[in-house]
Amino acid sequence: SRLEESVKKIVTENPVVVYSKTWCSYSSEVKSLFKRLGAEPLVIELDQMGPQGRQLQKTLERLTGQHTVPNVFIGGKHIGGCTDTVKLHRKGELRLLLSEAGAT
Amino acid sequence: SRLEESVKKIVTENPVVVYSKTWCSYSSEVKSLFKRLGAEPLVIELDQMGPQGRQLQKTLERLTGQHTVPNVFIGGKHIGGCTDTVKLHRKGELRLLLSEAGAT
Ligand SMILES: N[C@@H](CCC(=O)N[C@@H](CS)C(=O)NCC(=O)O)C(=O)O
Ligand SMILES: N[C@@H](CCC(=O)N[C@@H](CS)C(=O)NCC(=O)O)C(=O)O
Ligand code: FES
């Protein structure tokens, strides 16, 4: 669909993309982890887009199998949520992924 | 108001009370921390009560100054949110509060 194509385009053209909700602490945590690592993620706040936000969340679920926020992509690859991103960081793999994607 | 009285009654009659939202990971984190410590909190899911949930959240804001979830009480005392509760645990003070309140 058109929406799926636009998500694919956004996640391949931007090194780090976070689909988020403004009032969600897990979304804030992952956004601030990226900032601490020197990466400036493209953040899309699903709750600030009216009905399109819900449509977009359904599209993300179709594309990734994940209906929850935050929904994180690095270098066009689907990473998962907050706990997935933090686990990668603890294992020392996040910095590598960010530099390979040209985010840092 | 009647709602304020009912909140005061609930938090004094139950050793641990957590006002939560079912889909919020910070709410889940604080609920599982209490379970791990052997306390069975009274959990009130604000998103499962229809319009009363929003009313209740406003009442909690008036009583505690906190509009966010999770909203935690131990022994009738307002503790705060997830990060406040985790901080108390890290300092070794949460177990004491729970046993003093008769939760463990
Ligand atoms: N482990 C996941 C949890 C994600 C999660 O449960 N997110 C919540 C908000 S914190 C959500 O989107 N809930 C909506 C739902 O469950 O329908 C992560 O770390 O991102
Ligand atoms: N530091 C607080 C954060 C609480 C918080 O921001 N909760 C969010 C959900 S995770 C909330 O209630 N957001 C609603 C809002 O900001 O209006 C805690 O640990 O509980
Ligand atoms: S809504 Fe509470 S952590 Fe996401």
Alpha-carbon distances of B90 from A77, B16, B25, B83, rounded to whole Å? 36, 18, 19, 10
Q: In this structure, are residues B16 and B103 in contact, taking their beta carbons and an 8 Å threshold? A: yes
Alpha-carbon distances of A23 from A103, B67, B68, rounded to whole Å? 25, 11, 9
- Ligand 2, atom 1, lies closest to the CA of B83
Compute the distance from residue A103 Cα to the ligand 1 centre, in Å.
25
The pLDDT tens digits along chain B (104 residues) read: 999 999 999 999 999 999 999 999 999 999 999 999 999 999 999 999 999 999 999 999 999 999 999 999 999 999 999 999 999 999 999 999 999 999 99
Task: Starting from the CA of residue B60, give the closest ligand.
Answer: 2
Q: Does B28 touch chain A (CB under 8 A)?
A: no
- pLDDT given at position A34: 98
Alpha-carbon distances of A47 from A20, A103, B83, rounded to whole Å? 8, 25, 24
pLDDT tens, A29-66? 999 999 999 999 999 999 999 999 999 999 999 999 99
Cβ contacts of B82 on chain A, cutoff 8 Å: 25
Q: Is ligand 1 within 6 A of the CB of residue A81?
A: yes
- Ligand 2, atom 5, lies closest to the CA of B68
